[in-house]
Structure 1
Amino acid sequence: MEAVAEPGNLAGVRHIILVLSGKGGVGKSTISTELALALRHAGKKVGILDVDLCGPSVPRMLQAQGCAVHQCDNGWVPVFVDQEQSIALMSVGFLLETPDEAVVWRGPKKNGTSDEHISAVEALRPYQPLGAVLVTTPQAVSVGDVRRELTFCRKTGLPVIGIVENMSGFVCPHCAECTNLFSVGGGEELARHAGVPFLGSVPLDPQLVRSLEEGRDFIQEFPKSAAFPALASIAQKILDGAQVQAQTGTD
């Protein structure tokens, strides 16, 4: 997105992407983190706003747990997670005294809704977000929830960049064979039915899981893993879409 003329903290942000699902546990934080790393390695600067109020896990995934955030006249100052200052992160996890502290907020503190992404979409509307990446797993129950999220996007006028199917098979750590633990192709079928792009399938890869738990740069350290080409391809498709939008002058 081209920066709008209005002043504000987002004035210098060119593209805004929301990672949504409508269902918990599908890997929104994982996909957000790995996309940020992939975009960084593509030479982009990335900011992550972790709006998971009850289970903020992105700080751990980026080895930023325990970092202190500070307030300035314009609000909270994000934490840079790398020396090059190419990835900035803001999460409610930085505001908790201990990692085990629970966030007990009622509606008014959540802007009057239990669905944080509704508030996020409304807050970002003046900045014309590039769109949403919807994350699902192959199972029918997950696909059904994401189908409702597609309806949400259409009702709110939020463009859909595409659908990612996460945990699409399990990669054996010994032989690297990918076995379908769940049903197959639900995300791709949903994308075809809804008429939106299918961005790709990301397998459940033990190397990726270990990387996230240890806060390591998966994109840099595991280029030969099964999940790497999937994540790199998804990031490139998002970059290509942003470039096309810029060339057509619709952002």
Structure 2
Amino acid sequence: MVTKEQILDALRPVEDPEVHQSIVDLDMVRNIEVRGGKVSLEIVLTIRGCPLHSVIEADVRSALSEVPGVTQVDVSIGHMTDEERAAFAAKVRGQSPEAAMATPALLAPDAGVTFLAIASGKGGVGKSTVTANLARQLAQLGYSVGVIDADIYGFSLPGIFGVQEKRPTMIDNLIIPVEVDGVKLISMHYFVPDKSPVVWRGPMLGKMLRNFFGEVHWGSVDIVLLDLPPGTGDMALDVHTLLPQSKELIVTTPQEAASDVAMRAGIMGIRTHHEIIGVVENMAYFECGGCGDRHYLFGRGGGDRVAAALQTEVIAHIPIASMDQQAQSLFQNETDQGSEYRVLAERVAQKLQLKTPNPVSVR
């Protein structure tokens, strides 16, 4: 005879697809009834209209179909009360509800996570594109990666990843980041009306950044990339203050105008005791598809000048995309850009001494 204990054991591997924890451990399985081979139960979700309810229901049916003796499964969907939702958020945090209210930080600067800020002196050098491709390549190498789009005024990462229309799940004061290509992403894009400008002064910007640490459930992450706003303004200073142990990667293009201001961004990092692990020279050259010759459309040497000034090295030269590639910002591994980004990810992992992960399949 099938027992309730067998049902719970079978459902324990089933995870909430957003928080990646067992639905049994999160107390989402209710009202189990077993009559011979017929099993009925209720799955309680945090919000009404949850877009992933069909995924959970399908996983539940699949898991119970493997239980010997089960011939029929009836699944109903319920919803949590406000009190149950608060308890759920606390469990996700790994805290009691009282502790969650008292100490809300989920990604503390001293939590053992490696932080890497991606900085540039000016806009238009492809800093966000570098951040997105580096994050994606690190995820493909097997690392658990989070990305904070800290460019509050010029947030662009949701567009680069193609997830502008998605929204983080909100559970009380807990935010579940959007996940794409194995990368967990949070951005100001998700918290402002469509195309509305962000007209904030420095203190509000710093508060929003702290919310990205204190209210977003990142789960277990190996590395968090921060896409900084260009220059040396309030937001960049807040990052330097909040994360004194963060490393930095400087992005520039070959032109002297870009490299000069990139040096200033790097010097700011050094003065706030951030280690500069290297320089990425983006749009370094264009390679002719027919003859293979390299053409340096924006000159040469910008990355080397920045690296020399900051006493570091250029760890990647990213070529300019061809006309048929310029509509995209994420590059496949077989492209010249994708190959360079894979090398960049490997060098970053080595420089940051990230623990070697289990490789994942590239799809």
1:148 deviation in Å?
1.0
SS in 2 for 1:219: coil
Q: Mean alpha-carbon deviation: is it higher for 51-60 or for 198-207?
A: 198-207
Aligned to 1:232: 342
Taking the TM superposition and a 5 Å limit, the aligned residue runs for 1:33-112 are 33-72=132-171, 75-82=174-181, 86-98=182-194, 100-111=195-206
Whole-Å separation in 2 of the counterparts to 1:151 and 1:172: 36
Whole-Å separation in 1 of the counterparts to 2:233 and 2:174: 23
The verdict on how the C-alpha distance between 1:120 and 1:175 changes in structure 2, with shifts beyond 3 A counting, is same
SS in 2 for 1:210: coil
The verdict on how the C-alpha distance between 1:241 and 1:74 changes in structure 2, with shifts beyond 3 A counting, is farther
The verdict on how the C-alpha distance between 1:115 and 1:28 changes in structure 2, with shifts beyond 3 A counting, is farther
- Name the Cα RMSD after superposition: 2.6
The verdict on how the C-alpha distance between 1:233 and 1:208 changes in structure 2, with shifts beyond 3 A counting, is farther
Deviations 1:134-160 (CA, angstroms, capped at 9, x unpaired): 000100011110111121011100110
The verdict on how the C-alpha distance between 1:160 and 1:7 changes in structure 2, with shifts beyond 3 A counting, is farther
Name the TM-score, length of structure 2 as normaliser: 0.57
1:29·1:58 contact (CA, 8 Å) conserved in 2? yes
Whole-Å separation in 2 of the counterparts to 1:167 and 1:13: 34
Name the % identity: 31
1:58 deviation in Å?
0.5
Aligned to 1:219: 332
Q: Which has the higher contact order (CA 8 A, sep 6+)?
A: 1
Aligned to 2:279: 163
1:34·1:219 contact (CA, 8 Å) conserved in 2? no
Higher helix share: 1
Q: Mean alpha-carbon deviation: is it higher for 7-16 or for 140-149?
A: 7-16
2:263·2:309 contact (CA, 8 Å) conserved in 1? no
1:170·1:180 contact (CA, 8 Å) conserved in 2? yes
Deviations 1:182-223 (CA, angstroms, capped at 9, x unpaired): 1102112331343212112111113653332xxxx5234xx1
Give the unaligned 5+ runs of structure 1.
1-5, 247-251
1:173 deviation in Å?
5.7
SS in 2 for 1:10: coil
Name the TM-score, length of structure 1 as normaliser: 0.80
Give the unaligned 5+ runs of structure 2.
1-102, 208-231, 356-363
Which structure's CA Rg is the greater one? 2
1:165·1:201 contact (CA, 8 Å) conserved in 2? yes
- Establish whether residue 8 from structure 1 lines up as the match of residue 105 from structure 2: yes
1:97 deviation in Å?
2.4
Instruction: Supply the AA of the counterpart residue of 2:326.
Output: V
The verdict on how the C-alpha distance between 1:36 and 1:161 changes in structure 2, with shifts beyond 3 A counting, is same
The verdict on how the C-alpha distance between 1:176 and 1:241 changes in structure 2, with shifts beyond 3 A counting, is same
Whole-Å separation in 2 of the counterparts to 1:73 and 1:152: 37
Aligned to 1:115: 234
Q: Mean alpha-carbon deviation: is it higher for 70-79 or for 199-208?
A: 70-79
1:72 deviation in Å?
4.3
Aligned to 2:131: 32
1:166 deviation in Å?
0.5
1:175 deviation in Å?
5.5
Whole-Å separation in 1 of the counterparts to 2:106 and 2:173: 7
Aligned to 1:249: none
Aligned to 1:3: none
Question: Would you say how many aligned residue pairs link Structure 1 and Structure 2?
Answer: 227
